[in-house]
Structure 1
Amino acid sequence: MSFSLLGKGHAAAELTGFELERDSEEVSVTAQLQFELSSTVEEALLKGIPMVFVAETELLRERWYWYDKSVATSARHFRLAFQPLTRRWRLNISSGAASATGQGLALNQSFDTLQQALAAIKRISRWRVAGANELDPAVRYRFEFRFRLDLGQLPRPFQIGAIGQSEWDISVVRSEFLAPEAAK
């Protein structure tokens, strides 16, 4: 018998797999997320309201005399929408926030089921965070990873209604240290 202390409809997120790699060319991250959409979020999707999930990374150089210095940041925006005419799910993955101008590069995919679309969102594979030339090999860095449902991208009435509601809270944060490269 299993039960949840979170209550009905709460959408907690967790990292079930996480790997931060540093090689001679780049620093990359691989992550496996686990979350379920609440019935409220799923219902909004089925009514044609797109949901935007955001994965963000930041690499910080530690400094004892001041705040840590941000060396590299990156973001991925996953815009998930249901297409009622075709009864398919559309996922747009881009490096910037969705805008009215439609500028920037984006990967667009269609899926038959919501589960297939969510599986693509939950799997982040070898995402390049920083190039080796941006890092000092002798310095230790702190790496921050954040994933969340971006409530700021919802229509205004939903933003107001979602404040403080646990069924709209899908987020996870992870912090790791990136050790200096071993002496060669």
Structure 2
Amino acid sequence: MTGFITHCWKSAGFDLWRAGCWLLGAWLLVCAPVWAQSTSAELTEFKVERQDGSLLLNAQFKLELGPAVEDALVKGLAVHFVAEAEVMRDRWYWYDKKLGAASRYYRLAFQPLTRRWRLNVASEPIAHSGATSSLSQSFDTLQDALNVVRRQTGWKVADMADVDADARQYVAYRFRLDVSQLPRPFQIAAGNQVDWRLDIARSLRLTADMVR
């Protein structure tokens, strides 16, 4: 009988903890000033260049975080961004052929003890703890950290040996705020807020001048 009661208490405690997480997630994402600018991103530069046998991507954009995202960051939630690029060759008879691809993952977090911002950058998904084979930098301000995310230069997306100057090819680029990396309660709350909807895409047709 004692074991049954203990099990019930444990189950009830877990349910209360889970409910508390849901409420906390909703509170963190909803309780932010509504008059500030929403999260937005706009590409201001998007080009490729040939260098040392590689096709390099250069992308720069304006990136501003909305109040709900900033508020969640200050309260201890890490935010993840993903940038992806693919070099594709047109094929009329089947799906387009992928000639090269590259990804970059960003994990942004605020450190309350030092009052600094930490940014991890890696070529593979970053663990929630940030402990992975990534480059880690600390910044005094949020804008300084975002400036690194805003400038993606010299990013190798393909080997020139795989690119045919006489074929029809293009570069497909995408940058997004990865809500799937948030804890489950936060994902549900974020789905109802425009501040957490950030997803931009652009494609660039390669010309002979770019790849010769």
Q: TM-score, normalised by structure 1?
A: 0.88
Supply the distance in 2 between the matched residues of 1:183 and 1:167 (Cα, whole angstroms).
38
Q: Deviations over 1:54-76 (max 9, x none)?
A: 11001111011122112212100
Shift of 1:43: 0.4
* Aligned with 1:138 (options 152, 166, 172): 166
Q: Structure 1 63/21 Cα, relative in aligned 2: closer, same or farther at 3 Å?
A: same
Give 2:94's aligned amino acid. Answer: W
1:76–1:96 Cα contact (<8 Å) kept: yes
* Aligned with 1:89 (options 113, 117, 123): 117
Q: Indicate whether 1:12 and 2:40 are aligned.
A: yes
Q: Deviations over 1:2-22 (max 9, x none)?
A: xxxxx8542221101122113
Q: Which structure has the bigger radius of gyration?
A: 2
2:171–2:203 Cα contact (<8 Å) kept: yes
Tell me what 1:160 maps to.
188
Q: Indicate whether 1:40 and 2:46 are aligned.
A: no
Q: Secondary structure at the match of 1:167?
A: helix
* Aligned with 2:154 (options 126, 132, 147): 126
Tell me what 1:58 maps to.
86
Aligned length: 178
Supply the distance in 2 between the matched residues of 1:78 and 1:57 (Cα, whole angstroms).
15
Pairing of 1:108-119 with structure 2 (within 5 A)? 108-119=136-147
Q: Deviations over 1:25-79 (max 9, x none)?
A: 1111111111210000000000111101111001111011122112212100011
Bigger helix fraction: 2
Q: Structure 1 101/115 Cα, relative in aligned 2: closer, same or farther at 3 Å?
A: closer
Tell me what 1:4 maps to.
none
Supply the distance in 1 between the matched residues of 2:210 and 2:101 (Cα, whole angstroms).
24
Structure 1: gaps spanning 5 or more residues = 1-6
Tell me what 1:177 maps to.
205
Shift of 1:117: 0.4
Q: Structure 1 179/24 Cα, relative in aligned 2: closer, same or farther at 3 Å?
A: farther
Give 1:74's aligned amino acid. Answer: A
Q: Which runs of 4+ in 1 moved over 6 A?
A: 100-103
Identity %, equivalent residues = 46
Shift of 1:179: 2.1
Q: Secondary structure at the match of 1:142?
A: strand
* Aligned with 1:99 (options 127, 139, 147): 127
Q: Deviations over 1:70-116 (max 9, x none)?
A: 22121000110001111110000000001379786311100000010
Shift of 1:147: 0.5
1:140–1:180 Cα contact (<8 Å) kept: no
Q: Deviations over 1:108-135 (max 9, x none)?
A: 1000000100111101111111111222
Q: Secondary structure at the match of 1:117?
A: helix
1:34–1:122 Cα contact (<8 Å) kept: yes
Tell me what 2:20 maps to.
none
RMSD in angstroms over aligned alpha carbons?
A: 2.3
Q: Secondary structure at the match of 2:95?
A: coil
